[in-house]
Structure 1
């Protein structure tokens, strides 16, 4: 069964785009010259992808602000711009940014991330695996304190 002429162009485009997603997800400064050429071709030949890519880069620029005030204005502008595009694929990310707006701005006040907590969690998980179960939670707590302090 042969495909109609109208759908063939779309199929060719999809074939050309296959495997290119990771170039679009990477930071521009980490791309090789040939990868930059591929990204440029995708952005020029696929208008909607170009719009979304520009919004991705703009959202990434949020972290370049020195103050929460500037970042808040940037995020508000980003939300308005993203909503006005009318691209349905952006609905979920718009909702996430909108729902976590204040939490995103908390970073500008504290400059803290959850890396320390993730590290502590990995130590606790290692203690749990190593013991294969404790008689009660107090023993687990004690081992976590000992391991976290470096005594054992």
Structure 2
């Protein structure tokens, strides 16, 4: 891209959407950008392709897909994508265990997020017991107005 080229102007956040979540009013613009020879378009396509890894049922088919994706990502000549592909490579065996045990840590991450919010709202607690009480009160799911 040359200096003064405004091809990508205003499209920064479009590249963060998945294909199905692009706002309706910007779909044509995004399709036109995707079909141009842009590095960001290639990076977006590689990112979107990796999302298909979660649709496989068997570890062997997921492994086969991942090997093709990894080759594509590492030969993309896009350094951030290559770096991300290496990170995925280091963890691929743990990622593939999801097919055998489809469990995530989303619940614990959500609970941790609530606890961090409680901690920041209080600006510190005088002792650990008050902190634990606040966590139980906010996250305990108690009905304060029983019938």
Q: TM-score normalized by structure 1? A: 0.71
Residue 80 in 1 paired to residue 71 in 2?
yes
Shift of 1:55: 1.1
Are the equivalent residues in 2 in contact too, given 1:123–1:144 (CA < 8 A)? no
Residue 42 in 1 paired to residue 37 in 2?
no
Are the equivalent residues in 1 in contact too, given 2:115–2:135 (CA < 8 A)? no
Root mean square deviation of aligned Cα: 3.0
More relative contact order, 1 or 2 (CA 8 Å, 6+ apart): 2
Change beyond 3 A, Cα 1:86–1:141: same
Distance 1:103 1:140 in 2: 38
Are the equivalent residues in 1 in contact too, given 2:76–2:82 (CA < 8 A)? no
Residue 11 in 1 paired to residue 13 in 2?
no
Change beyond 3 A, Cα 1:31–1:146: closer
Which of the pair is proportionally richer in helix?
Answer: 1
What do residues 77-130 of structure 1 show as CA deviations (whole Å, max 9, x unaligned)? 111111122222322211221122123223222222222112332454426855
Of 36, 45, 48 in structure 2, the residue corresponding to residue 54 of structure 1 is 45
Of 73, 77, 82 in structure 2, the residue corresponding to residue 91 of structure 1 is 82
Instruction: Tell me what 1:25 maps to.
Output: 16
Unmatched 5+ stretches in structure 2 = none
Shift of 1:22: 1.5
Secondary structure of 2:35's partner?
Answer: helix
Return the index of the structure with the highest Cα Rg: 1
